[in-house]
Every structure is written in C-alpha cells, then in structure tokens.
Amino acid sequence: MRKTLYIIGLSTLVFSCTSQKNVKKNTYRPKTTAAQPKTAVNSQNFEKNKPEVATEHGVEFFRTNIADITKNDNTISYGSIVSAKPAGYKVVKTHFPAVAQNFRQKYLILHYTVLPDDKSVEVLTQQSVSAHYLVNNLGDNEIYQLVDENKRSYHAGISAWRSDKNLNDTSIGIEIVNMGYKADASGMKVFQPFSDEQIKKVAALAKDIVTRYNIPATNVLAHSDIAPTRKQDPGPLFPWKKLYDEYQIGMWYDEMAKQNFLTLAQTDIETRYNEPSFIFVVQTALQKFGYDILPNGKWDDVTKKTVEALQYHFRPQNYSGVLDAETWAILQSLNQKYPTK
Ligand SMILES: [Zn+2]
C-alpha cells in the first residue's frame, strides 16, 4: 500500500521462456512420441481427451478445471479463454490447447490494508495499488473481487521468494481490512487483531484459490515474507497456525522437530551468537528457506528485519527481530520439512 508499488506495477513485466523441461504427461496429452508417428487412433484420443469448451454471451469457457492437481505445471487455465480477433482472419481452435503451458498463479500473498473499510475500497480500486480480493471487516458474507485472477494486480511491489522475483507477475493478492500497528511508548509495534469473521473469509477464499491453482504450501506467504525490509503485513496476529491446522493452508513446523533442534540451538545462541561464521550459517538458512537475503556474517538491519518477518509468521509471541534459540530451532525445522527442490 505504498507508492513504490506503483513504480513496480507499471514498470516491470517479465516474460519467461525457459520452462520447457517439465513437460509431462497428463490426461489430455496426445499419445505421440518420436518413435511412434501420429496415427488416426492417436488423433482420436486427443479429440476425446480435449477439455470441453462452453460459450456464453460470446465468451468461451472451459467447463471444468482439468489441471493435474499433483503438479502445478502442464495445465490448462480454467475460466474464460481470451482470443485475438484479427481483422479479416479467423482464429480457430483446431489444435487447441497445447500441452506445454501452466498457470500464472504460483503464489498466494496475504496483506492488511492499514485503512478502514470504505477507504480500503477507494484506494484499492481508484489509486495505483490493488489486489485481486479484499476482505472487509463488516461481519457480512461478502468478499470483494477487484482484479481478474488471470491479470496482475499491484500488491507485492519489490519482492522475492526463493528463485522468484517481482511476485505481482505470479501471484494472487488478498488484502484484509485491518489498521496494522501503532508503536507503544517503548517503540514496540502493537498490532490490531483480526475478527473471527475475517479469518473465516480469508481461509475459505485461500482454500479455494490454492486448490484451483494447486499452489504449494511453500508459496502461501505474508507480504512481510517476500519484502521483509519494507513490510510487516499481515503481522503477528494473523493466525497462520490456525490456517494450517484447520484448513491445511500454508506451512507450519512440526513441534517434535523443533524440540529436537532446540538443545543445540540453545548452545549456538549461548556460545556462538556473535561469531561471523554462525551468523553466516543463520543467514544461509534464512536464504535457503526462501527469504531474499545475502549472507555476510553480520547481524545487520536486513538480517534483523528478516528474522522479524520469520517471527511474525512462525513465532508470533515475540517478534523482536533478535534470533533466539526457539526461532533458530523453528527455522531449522522448517528447512527440514520444506526443502528447496
Ligand atoms: Zn501488503
């Protein structure tokens, strides 16, 4: 919800043409190989397995979501089909759809607005920032859609997770009406809680989105995860554990694994805390988990804010940004459970 989003939203459109290696078999793929030339039978199979297309008011739609839910690749987008209408020519779908394609939607990013309900609608629809969905705080049963899921909305700004950058290109953004935080007398950030109604809405919406696009748990993230030096939202009062426990959405560590790491983590914190080699190991673990951080062996501001982002998400009782034994044990158990492929 800041002006930097505007710049990114308008300036960066990254085209990628590199993901051809993951072309895999799925339900509608024609059964042709180099050694087996195309035959009439294969053509029939292709026709039989083609997804059904319906037309309503001149707009074509896939009837069903035919994505292979075991993997988020090699799938057909579900919803309306956008086609060119070149003057004097006819676009035909005789050879439609190609096998090699996937969803644009790889991430689900959660935010809070730092604005009340009416102002949130106004800013997210009339100004230079937006989100695909807005969850109000009115206690009703409505969720506002502001942007087509197939289009980019301007919610993430400068952002990165694992090998991906500029996540506006590849994400669905949900904004939640919430006033964020105020600093108390000691400078500590005090956050506003979310209502139960809001959390139920967010959970139902998130569940629907991650299911349809088969978004992996590692890609359901806070704005603070993908932009830790700039952002705190949706903050430590957003109940990530509840979403994980009750709706199977997103990541959470295993308590047993955390306990197993804890003893050694306590020793690390007590004996090596300021050693550059230890700080380097911690920074490497943060980077491996997904945060955009370059290990340098120093407890610098970037590292502090990145630890704080990890704490907002996974250890919300204390989000000082200082690495303690529990935070260190949680980070290691997360890396064990969700390794980078
Ligand atoms: Zn945000």
pLDDT tens-digit map of 122-145: 999 999 999 999 999 999 999 999
Question: What per-residue confidence (pLDDT) applies to 100?
Answer: 67
Condensed to tens digits (0 to 9), the pLDDT of residues 322-332 reads 999 999 999 99
Question: What per-residue confidence (pLDDT) applies to 309?
Answer: 98
Average pLDDT rounded to a whole number, residues 300-326: 98
Contacts for 88-93: CB closer than 8 Å, 24+ residues apart: 93/53
**Opening angle at CA 149, ends 146 and 154, nearest 5:** 60
Question: What per-residue confidence (pLDDT) applies to 48?
Answer: 64
Average pLDDT rounded to a whole number, residues 265-287: 98
Distance 246 CA to ligand 1 centre (A): 24
| Contact in structure between 136 and 144 (CB atoms under 8 Å) | yes
pLDDT for residue 201 is more than 80: yes
> Cβ-count burial of 165 within 10 angstroms (0-12 exposed, 13-18 middle, 19+ buried)?
middle
Distance 16 CA to ligand 1 centre (A): 25
CA gap 214, 236 in Å, rounded:
26
Contacts for 2-8: CB closer than 8 Å, 24+ residues apart: 2/129, 2/157, 2/230, 3/128, 4/157, 4/158, 4/230, 5/128, 5/129, 5/154, 5/155, 5/156, 5/157, 6/128, 6/129, 6/154, 8/154, 8/156, 8/157, 8/158, 8/166, 8/168
**What 3 state SS string does 314-338 have?**
HCCCCCCCCCCHHHHHHHHHHHHHC
Q: What is the DSSP string of 281-318?
A: HHHHHHHHHT------SS--HHHHHHHHHHHHHH-TT-
Q: For residue 32, what are its two tokens?
A: 């042709």
At 18, is the pLDDT very low, low, confident or very high (cuts 50, 70, 90)? very low
- Stated length of the chain: 341
Distance 338 CA to ligand 1 centre (A): 24
pLDDT for residue 181 is more than 60: yes
CA gap 321, 191 in Å, rounded:
16
Q: Which residues contact 249 (CB under 8 A, 6 or more apart)?
A: 203, 206, 207, 210, 217, 220, 243
Report the amino acid identity of residue 307: V
Distance 226 CA to ligand 1 centre (A): 10
Cβ density class 191-213: b for 16+ within 10 Å, e for less? beebeeebbebbbebbeebbebb
Question: What per-residue confidence (pLDDT) applies to 35?
Answer: 41
Distance 3 CA to ligand 1 centre (A): 12
At 5, is the pLDDT very low, low, confident or very high (cuts 50, 70, 90)? very low
At 103, is the pLDDT very low, low, confident or very high (cuts 50, 70, 90)? confident
Cite the active site residues. 175
What domains lie within the chain, and their CATH numbers? 3-12+103-247 (3.40.80.10), 21-101 (no CATH), 255-337 (1.10.101.10)
Distance 320 CA to ligand 1 centre (A): 20
* Widest CA span in the chain: 77
Distance of CA 268 to the CA centre of its chain: 32
Distance 132 CA to ligand 1 centre (A): 12
Structural Rg of the chain based on CA atoms: 23
